[in-house]
Amino acid sequence: MSWLHLFILLPLLFAVIIPILYKKIAKIHTGWFVLVVPLSIFVYLLMFLPMIAGGETAMYALPWIPAFNIDISFYVDGLGLVFGLIISGIGTLVVLYSIYYLDKAREALHNFYVYLMIFMTAMLGVVFSDNLIVLYLFWELTSISSFLLIAYWYARRQSRYGAQKAMLITIFGGFSLLAAIIMLGIMGDTFSIRELISQGGQLVQHPLFIPAMILLLIGAFTKSAQFPFHIWLPDAMEAPTPISAYLHSATMVKAGIYLVARFTPLFGGTMEWFWIVTGVGLLTLFWGALLAVKQRDLKALLAFSTISQLGLIMSLLGMGSAALYYGEGELADLHSMAVLAAVFHLLNHATFKGSLFMVVGIVDHETGTRDIRKLGGLMSIMPISFTLALIGSLSMAGLPPFNGFLSKELFFTGTLNAASLDIFRMETYGFLIPVIAWVASVFTFIYSLILVFKTFFGNYQPERLEKEAHEAPWGMLLPPAILALFVVVIFFVPNVLGEYVLEPMMASILPTLAGQFDFHIEAWHGFEPELFMTIALVALGIILYLTLKKWIGLYNHMPRVLTITNAYNSGLKGMESISRKITNAHMTGFSRDYLRYIFLIFVLVVGASLFLLDGFSFDTGNVAHINMFEIILSLVLVGATAMVVFTRSRLAAVICVGVLGYIVALFFVVLRAPDLALTQLAIETVTVALFLVCFYHLPRLRQKEEGDGFNVINMLIAGAVGTLVTLVALSANGHRLFPAISEYYLDAYELAGAANMVNAILADFRALDTLLEIFVLCIAGLGVFALVKVRLARREKNENQ
Amino acid sequence: MEILMSVLAGILFTAGTYLVLAKSLIRIVLGTAIIGHGALLLLLTMGGIKTGAPPLLGLESASYTDPLPQALILTAIVINFGTLGFFLVLSYRSYQELGTDDMEELRGTEDE
């Protein structure tokens, strides 16, 4: 147990006392107590920075289940630490923001902060875990806490729908990840990520390499809302805005990015990884940007924007993995630029998107709506919010002087580098990458303008707003202001981050190049193609924004049936109706049908295994002789049996069953079993008497006694069962492997002092059977007594009358 | 003799299965009784039918029939009787309470 363990588990431990604080100290907003937790984690994690910058890493292990190689081992390197700082840093700001956002009197604050603290531990656990099983544990904990947070206002139908959708999709991905983890465990015989990476070269040859890669990527893509699993994110916007800002822009959705980055050293450098990660990333980038333009709800717009930007980071990680193909040298350095762009944009996105969500939350909080058709003209009423929104949006659009510009330029550099690749069949399709990226950036520019201009410019429409708009309190403005400050500061001094943040992150993603990164991020890098791309996109973006009214209608032509959400909904409905149909088709409630299934499966399984294992054998050598008496008995038996089946009269059937029983008793006589014959005769008599008593007391509901009519299917099933029993009996007869143990009982007189061997067995050698058989009879007798005597239902009815 | 007994057991199983698949509760009870008889014959046959004296030591015979299957069958007969008796009374009571012996009408409620 190290300090790191303690700090990662601190939110979870603190969650225990949150309800107590909420109840006992009701005067102070619970959030103020909670604020201490992420802040202290942030400060603690900052202390690791110098060590990480020096190229060192640290490992803290705590045995959990040593027998299965499962330890709670936390590993601190550049990637994990920066994620940890983002989680705790933005966590602090979000808690501060939520203190002003959530009303003390009206909201169930204890629930909110408990879920949030669970989430924080889970997320820190994901990014620091070195053991894959522990990582999976925390991974699912993020899904569960996110589910709880989305449905925080559980009385709303949309919240519950969004939470269920997010749950189903991310848990689906989680199971896929678990499968990948198990495969990795089989491949490398360890669950430690570091040990797996250290044997990377040999694992490429393993047949499970590609399946594990694909399953892991499905897990990462579902969590990070990549196409086509992005559909849960817009519906998760039903969560309170601090949650949307924290989970659905800065932290949880980056868990998939983290996973891809973490496993790049293992899987990177292969063609499959390059194409899947880059391709899905670009598709998500393009699709998210395209759909964001169409949104009318500010949070939905930001959700699609997040999807798009996550796609951007994902595609950069894919492109950067080409550096591992080269290992070292000039080409490796060239392609490592994409990884630099990815980690840089990851940071930038966390700053400006968190800030934008909080500003949108402020607008929602102060005006009562998030619909851009109702908003407008808020610039002079909410000047600070407007400034923050402008900074965030322009950074998102990729304009100077904001950090988004720098990472967008690096993104273009990365795509141009990738287009020049001559491996992985890139020579054929490579040119597409910059084209798609550029078109997506145009749309990004448009929706960034929509976000800020439609909200803050234009006419103020107080009659359409639910509240009179006014500026937010400072506590709500402070967190987005801090983030916006980062947006601007990073633009002017990007290289401060270099040594302490970006380089260690790149060293984790591309370990073969660690220590030799040589980069210098500059806002001005001369008249390079990237700059012309930016100028062209700004020009086209402005033109398209000004003519927005003319072409926005095109979106309405997109058929609703073809959307992925529609496919999800109808898929869910379809599965329900199909399973209902299947259940209704075979669960008829009619015992005959169930018995038919049972008999059929019995015949098929036993018959097929006998047939397949060649178990039939008919040995006629060792059979006893048949005498006349036995033949006559057999004929009578067959006749009586036929009578039972075919007679229409129940009485005749009962009597025939009696005859059957007596014949069996006679068989016992013939086959020299006197005790059996005695018992059988006595019992058959009693049974027939019982049957007759039952008949005597039958209510005369249906005077007409009718048979069932001949049923062919039943007859076939019955015939099959009977034939199979005969075949099994005959085959068993032919398979006598060793002699019986009955010789032992011949000594019954010496052993037990009994001349009757059967009785000696029953009462001496195997007396336990007899004891329990007596119990059976007792219980049956008591049961009969209870059935006849106890009549609760009728008595209640009488009392009611 | 074993072959004959095996065929007889098969016939009893056929008849019992057919009755168990019937609609009327009383026929199902009869079917279980018949399957029970079939099982008894099967047990006896499987023990091997040797012509020898009954398993009573006082007879001073050279060979005896196998006593173990007989002991097993005796146990089986008694248990068979216990369950059959309970089953009969149960079906008799369900006639009384529910007024029908048609399994198709005894399907339980819709919401089960």
| Min Cα–Cα distance to chain A from B97, Å | 9
**Cross-chain Cβ contact B14/A625 below 8 Å:** no
DSSP one-letter code for A248? I
Q: Is any Cβ of chain B less than 8 angstroms from the Cβ of A605?
A: no
Residue A53's pLDDT is 84
DSSP one-letter code for A371? B
- For A691-726, the pLDDT digits (tens) are 887 777 665 555 455 555 678 888 999 999 999 999
**Cross-chain Cβ contact B55/A756 below 8 Å:** yes
**Residue listed under structure tokens 């073809």:** A562
| Min Cα–Cα distance to chain B from A606, Å | 15
Contacts with B93 (C-beta within 8 Å, 6 or more apart), sequence order = A787, A788
Nearest to B1 among A630, A711, A742 (CB): A630
Cα–Cα distance measured from residue A618 to residue A610, given in angstroms and rounded to the nearest whole number = 13
Nearest Cα neighbor of B34 from A641, A713, A669 is A641
| Min Cα–Cα distance to chain B from A617, Å | 12
User: Most distant CA pair in chain B: distance in Å?
Assistant: 67
Averaged pLDDT, A381-395: 89
Q: Is any Cβ of chain B less than 8 angstroms from the Cβ of A769?
A: yes
Nearest Cα neighbor of A724 from A568, A610, A569 is A610
Cα–Cα distance measured from residue A78 to residue A144, given in angstroms and rounded to the nearest whole number = 27
Residue A202's pLDDT is 83
**Cross-chain Cβ contact A740/B42 below 8 Å:** no
Residues in chain A: 801
**A138 against A525, higher pLDDT:** A138
Lowest mean pLDDT among A117-121, A172-176, A338-342, B16-20: A338-342
**Cross-chain Cβ contact A699/B54 below 8 Å:** no
Cα–Cα distance measured from residue A299 to residue A237, given in angstroms and rounded to the nearest whole number = 6
- For A620-670, the pLDDT digits (tens) are 666 777 888 889 999 999 999 999 888 877 788 888 999 999 999 999 998
This prediction's pTM: 0.83
| Domain edges within chain A | 268-554
SS3 A461: coil
| Min Cα–Cα distance to chain A from B79, Å | 6
- For A318-331, the pLDDT digits (tens) are 888 888 887 777 77
Residue B94's pLDDT is 83
**Cross-chain Cβ contact A787/B99 below 8 Å:** no
**Residue listed under structure tokens 């209640």:** A796
Run of H or E residues at A483: helix A474-492
Cα–Cα distance measured from residue A770 to residue B97, given in angstroms and rounded to the nearest whole number = 35
Lowest mean pLDDT among A272-281, A503-512, A581-590: A503-512
Cα–Cα distance measured from residue A608 to residue A615, given in angstroms and rounded to the nearest whole number = 10
Run of H or E residues at A64: strand A63-65
Give whole-number Cα distances, A407 to A86, A89, A251, A465, A467, in Å.
18, 21, 19, 37, 38
Contact A40, A160 (CB under 8 A): no
Residue A407's pLDDT is 84
Q: 3-state SS of chain A: helix, strand, coil percent to 5?
A: 75, 0, 20
Chain A CB contacts of B12 below 8 Å: 637, 641, 660, 722
Nearest to B14 among A624, A722, A788 (CB): A722
- For A57-101, the pLDDT digits (tens) are 888 989 898 888 888 999 998 899 999 999 999 999 999 999 988
Query: What tokens does A13 get?
Result: 């431990």
DSSP string, B81-100: HHHHHHHHHHHHHHHHHHS-
**Cross-chain Cβ contact A699/B96 below 8 Å:** yes
Question: Among A648, A669, A698, A742, which would you mutate to test the B interface (most chain B Cβ atoms within 10 Å of its Cβ)?
Answer: A742
Chain A CB contacts of B61 below 8 Å: none
Taking CA–CA distances from A631, the nearest residue in chain B reads B4
Q: Is any Cβ of chain B less than 8 angstroms from the Cβ of A640?
A: no
In the stretch 699-728 of chain A, residues with CB closer than 8 A to chain B read 699, 701, 708, 711, 714-715, 717-719, 721-723, 725-726
Cα three-residue angle A359-A361-A364, rounded to 5 degrees: 115
Answer yes or no: is pLDDT of B111 > 70.
Answer: no
- For B82-110, the pLDDT digits (tens) are 999 999 888 888 887 777 777 777 776 66
Q: Is any Cβ of chain B less than 8 angstroms from the Cβ of A788?
A: yes
Cα–Cα distance measured from residue A715 to residue A722, given in angstroms and rounded to the nearest whole number = 10
Q: Is any Cβ of chain B less than 8 angstroms from the Cβ of A776?
A: yes
Q: Is any Cβ of chain B less than 8 angstroms from the Cβ of A591?
A: yes
Taking CA–CA distances from A762, the nearest residue in chain B reads B71
SS3 A24: helix
**Residue listed under structure tokens 């060792």:** A622
Contact B77, A680 (CB under 8 A): yes
CB-side neighbour CA atoms (13 Å) of B29? 27
Taking CA–CA distances from A637, the nearest residue in chain B reads B8
Classify domain B1-51+63-98 by CATH architecture.
Answer: Orthogonal Bundle (1.10)
| Min Cα–Cα distance to chain A from B92, Å | 6
Chain B CB contacts of A781 below 8 Å: 82
Chain B CB contacts of A761 below 8 Å: 67-68, 71
CB-side neighbour CA atoms (13 Å) of A691? 25
Mean per-residue pLDDT over chain A, rounded: 86
Q: How far is CA B78 from the centre of its chain?
A: 11
User: Most distant CA pair in chain A: distance in Å?
Assistant: 116
- For A432-483, the pLDDT digits (tens) are 888 888 999 999 999 998 888 888 888 877 777 777 767 778 888 888 899 9
**Cross-chain Cβ contact B18/A715 below 8 Å:** yes
Nearest to B33 among A657, A736, A788 (CB): A657
Query: Residue A783, exposed/middle/buried by CB under 10 A (0-12, 13-18, 19+)?
Result: middle
Contact A261, A79 (CB under 8 A): yes
Nearest Cα neighbor of A315 from A351, A261, A250, A356 is A261
**Cross-chain Cβ contact A784/B85 below 8 Å:** yes
Chain B CB contacts of A756 below 8 Å: 55-57
Averaged pLDDT, A488-493: 86
Q: Is any Cβ of chain B less than 8 angstroms from the Cβ of A793?
A: yes
Cα–Cα distance measured from residue A560 to residue A562, given in angstroms and rounded to the nearest whole number = 5
**A55 against A581, higher pLDDT:** A581
Nearest to A626 among B1, B71, B89 (CB): B1
Nearest to A694 among B19, B86, B92 (CB): B92
Contact A456, A298 (CB under 8 A): no
Quickly state the pLDDT bin for A747 (edges 50, 70, 90).
confident
Residue A770's pLDDT is 93
**Cross-chain Cβ contact B108/A589 below 8 Å:** yes
Answer yes or no: is pLDDT of A734 > 60.
Answer: yes
Residue A799's pLDDT is 56
| Domain edges within chain B | 1-51+63-98
Residue A703's pLDDT is 47
Q: Is any Cβ of chain B less than 8 angstroms from the Cβ of A626?
A: yes
Taking CA–CA distances from B56, the nearest residue in chain A reads A756
- A271 CB neighbour count, 10 Å cutoff: 13
**A484 against A105, higher pLDDT:** A484
DSSP one-letter code for A519? -
| Min Cα–Cα distance to chain A from B89, Å | 6
ipTM: 0.94
Averaged pLDDT, A340-369: 88
Answer yes or no: is pLDDT of A771 > 70.
Answer: yes
Percent of chain A whose pLDDT exceeds 70: 94
Quickly state the pLDDT bin for B40 (edges 50, 70, 90).
very high
Averaged pLDDT, A168-183: 94
Answer yes or no: is pLDDT of A497 > 70.
Answer: yes
